[in-house]
Amino acid sequence: MGKLDGKVALVTGGSTGIGLAAAQRLVADGAYVFITGRRKGELDAAVAQIGRNVVAIQGDVSKLADLDRLVATIREAKGRIDVLLANAGVADSAALGDISEEQFDRIFDINVKGTLFTVQKALPLLPSGASVILLSSVVGSKGFASRSVYSATKAALRSFARTWTTDLKSRRIRVNVVSPGAIDTPGLQGLTKMGSDGLADFYRDRVPLGRVGRPEEIANAVSFLASDESSYVAGTELFVDGGLAQV
């Protein structure tokens, strides 16, 4: 018996990195999972890797028509969403003075607008006691150079968790945030222009635990917040960062 047996989950941005690891873990715990992503090839590969109890729906969370189609598909197939992991996001860097309007709009459209409307459009499918998990980052609490726009989007997600916990209290829907630190994913490799070995060297002396994290370690936190193990946890931020933002 899995702790999520019979549950229906949605993972946005579930084709690679943390989203894929989370989807795999939710399926392993017994859930039936829908994943989204913008690139069909990556979605097909993710479905093959997960292997069972998973459906991929191609779409862009910043486009409301795509979200309408996503929710309609899940409504027809399963009728509800017990666990919603709003993971889809993009990261970019630019120092103050070099930030373009296009960059600002793109990052906010996906990270903030996309998260807000994913959750809002899914509300009719969320039963009492559902779990909503927002994927933020340590950058929402730190002041890393050249990350101001990306950091602001992740801080917004932390605020969403607080206000939505209040908005949804009558429905007993728990909203929480997971904030990873340096995790060895294609996204961080692309942002830093480093491979796995480079990331390991760069963060060895910067992270108290002396290493970068693995996507599976974020998936462990998601599994906890998705399940009844966290039945009295709401409106909080769970850092999974090896201590990077804590000391």
CATH code of residue 59: 3.40.50.720
Whether the Cβ atoms of residue 214 and residue 242 lie closer than 8 Å to each other: no
In a domain, 2, yes or no: no
Interatomic CA distance for residues 96 and 65, integer angstroms:
33
pTM above 0.95, yes or no: yes
Task: Provide the angle, in degrees to the nearest 10, between the axes of the packed helices 148-167 and 114-122.
Answer: 20
Please confirm, yes or no, whether 150 is among the known catalytic residues.
yes
- Count of structural domains, the chain: 1
Domain range for 18: 8-183+214-240
Residue 49 sits at the vertex; the CA angle it makes with 51 and 240, to the nearest 5 degrees, is 110
Burial of residue 200, with CB atoms counted within 10 A of its CB: 0-12 exposed, 13-18 middle, 19 or more buried: middle
In a domain, 35, yes or no: yes
Mapping DSSP to helix (H, G, I), strand (E, B) and coil, where does residue 62 land? coil
Q: Integer distance in angstroms from the first to the last C-alpha of the chain? A: 39
**Which residues, in sequence order, are bridge partners of residue 131?**
83, 174
* Residue whose C-alpha is closest to residue 34's, from 102, 84, 106: 84
According to the model, what pLDDT value does residue 229 have?
97
Q: Per-residue pLDDT for the chain (247 aa), expressed as one digit of tens each?
A: 899 999 999 999 999 999 999 999 999 999 999 999 999 999 999 999 999 999 999 999 999 999 999 999 999 999 999 999 999 999 999 999 999 999 999 999 999 999 999 999 999 999 999 999 999 999 999 999 999 999 999 999 999 999 999 999 999 999 999 999 999 998 888 878 888 999 899 999 999 999 999 999 999 999 999 999 999 999 999 999 999 999 9
In a domain, 83, yes or no: yes
Cα distances from 58 to residues 35, 46, 91, 104, in angstroms, run 8, 12, 20, 24
In a domain, 150, yes or no: yes
* Residue whose C-alpha is closest to residue 177's, from 216, 213, 224, 211: 224
In a domain, 125, yes or no: yes
Longest dimension (CA), the chain: 54
